[in-house]
Amino acid sequence: MKYTTTMLVGLTVLITAATVCADAPDAGPIVSMQAGEFALPDAIEMVRIPAGKFTMGSPQGEIGRGDDEPQRTITISKPFYMAKSEIKQSQYVPMMRPNYKPVFFGKGVWGTSLPELHQHGPQRVERLHIQTRRPTEKAMDGVSWKYAVEFCKKLSAREGAAGRMPKGYEYRLPTEAEWEYACRAGTTGAFNDKQVEKTVDQVGKTQGELISGEISRSEGILNAGGVANSFGLEDMHMGVLEWVLDDYAPYTGRDASDPVALADGKSKVVRGGFDTFYEDPSPKSRVHAEANEWRRYVRSASRGHLMPGIPYPSVGLRPVLAPVVKLPELTIPEKYDTVVPSAEDTAIRESDLAAFKKAMEEL
């Protein structure tokens, strides 16, 4: 029996290895930047974004516009690849939290819990009784900017070792300009697709009264957000908020080539996302036609900003394979760094984990 079990385990490992090898992309087209798209072994799909020029920001009078969105002409001088969709739990957790164990309050209850946050796991995991969307399909959220950068570095190390990295390129977070360029995909309006705009407006009309932040990313919202733009990128408007490299700062100059704002690192820009857990991450001087125009915060030009050391709910990442950008060392004040818990936090953590362990044993 022991021998049979050993053989089965060995066979499983071989099959898994063969599957990974079969799914591994051809290094040649990637290194030469000629592949239109490719998929990494963990099913991260990357789409080629051509070099080009676009108008960043929004025109005066665009509904939902903030005064931090002045228009300027941006040149993206080199092609790059961007993940087709936001990084999923099944792609993030094995690399970053291999020992992560989801803990539920009980059957049929949302998986947001302190033990999960203590492990730096996702804020929201799938309900136990819902089978329409598997946990592996959900976008990874609850990711701090710091850990989003670390994920990209690990991806670069792995792909570099496999010989699938173009010279002078790396996996990293997109710059704010790269994100908006990729989101727009040649469009110039508030949204990159008329169907997305129609859906956003409809969601706003039917759920606008829940602006206080009580909205869940319902199945309807998620499904409506699956529309891809002309570059083939999904959920640029309707997914989770996505970290970018830039510090939050005013745009400078009317024309720029490959800009990135790196200053003190106190506040990092987030883009896209159905930002339902707070009302408005940007300046209050917005153009509104009605009270529930909050839904317009997911426009192509919309900017939000958050502290980089905190794992906010509904915040994830979408990496790019793009020219190397050297980042300054980020120093996060200890009280804002969730990796350095206080004595009180540590006590709460131990108490929570013990309580939830007991609850799980009783299920």
Q: Which residue is listed with tokens 């592949």?
A: 35
Of all residues in the chain, what percent carry a pLDDT higher than 70?
Answer: 64
Q: What is the pLDDT of residues 176-229, one digit of tens each?
A: 999 999 999 999 999 998 777 776 666 555 444 333 333 333 333 333 446 789
Q: What is the pLDDT of residues 327-337, one digit of tens each?
A: 988 887 766 66
How far apart are the C-alpha atoms of 98 and 58, rounded to whole Å? Answer: 42
Q: Does the structure show a pLDDT above 60 at 131?
A: no
Most confident of 5-19, 132-146, 188-202: 188-202
Dihedral angle computed from the Cα positions of residues 66, 240, 234 and 245, in that order, rounded to the nearest 10 degrees = 70
Q: What is the pLDDT of residues 248-279, one digit of tens each?
A: 999 988 899 999 999 888 899 999 876 444 44
- pTM greater than 0.95 (yes/no): no
At 98, the amino acid letter reads P
**How many degrees, rounded to 5, is the angle at CA 47 between CA 46 and CA 51?**
130
At 47 the three-state DSSP class reads strand
How far apart are the C-alpha atoms of 104 and 224, rounded to whole Å? Answer: 28
Q: Give 2-87+139-332's CATH code, choosing from 3.90.1580, 3.30.70, 3.40.1000, 3.10.20.
A: 3.90.1580
Which residues have CB under 8 Å from 327's CB, separation 6+? 149, 245, 262
Q: Report pLDDT for 98.
A: 84
Which residues have CB under 8 Å from 89's CB, separation 6+? 122, 125, 135, 136, 138, 139, 140
Q: What is the pLDDT of residues 66-81, one digit of tens each?
A: 889 999 999 999 999 9
* Model confidence band, residue 139 (pLDDT cutoffs 50, 70, 90): confident
